[in-house]
Amino acid sequence: MTTTVSAQMTPQGLLIPRTAIQEWLAQGLEIVKDQQHIVIQPRAVPRTERERVRQVLEQSGRLVNLDWPPTAPPLTDLERAELAQKFGVGRPLSEIIIEERGER
């Protein structure tokens, strides 16, 4: 289904219907914004192996970008220090693992 684009010029800039943008993204176009321009262009060819894997995962629906903000705010330095003190009690985990492996 092709969406008819009825763009409107406003004092804030050019308005394009969200349905048109969603359709463009589904067709493999990307929207790139810099300080002065917004460019709608074919999706860039991945340059690295990581980018290629990410693109394959996105296209297959196995990788989804979540649009909502994190549920908890980042920890403060004081909270980090308190957690470090709580979890720093006792022997290092590496020693416990080595000890358990020795029992086998």
User: pLDDT (tens digit, 0 to 9) for every residue of the chain, 104 residues total?
Assistant: 566 777 788 887 778 888 888 888 888 788 888 777 788 888 777 778 888 888 888 888 898 877 788 788 889 999 999 999 988 888 888 888 898 888 66
**DSSP secondary structure letter of residue 68:** S
Is 27 part of any domain?
yes
> What is the residue range of 46's domain?
8-59
Within-domain flag for 52:
yes
- Asked if residue 45 lies in contact with residue 51, where contact means CB atoms within 8 angstroms, the answer is no
**Continuous segment of H or E residues that includes residue 10:** strand 8-10
Domain-embedded: residue 43? yes
In whole angstroms, give the CA distance from residue 55 to residue 45.
9
Tokens of 28: 């493999």
Domain contains 71: no
Which tokens go with 10? 């406003």
The whole-angstrom distance between residue 7's C-alpha and the CA centroid of its chain comes to 28
Number of domains into which the chain is organized: 1
Does residue 31 contact residue 24 with C-beta atoms inside 8 Å? yes
Rounded Cα distance between 66 and 68, Å, is 6
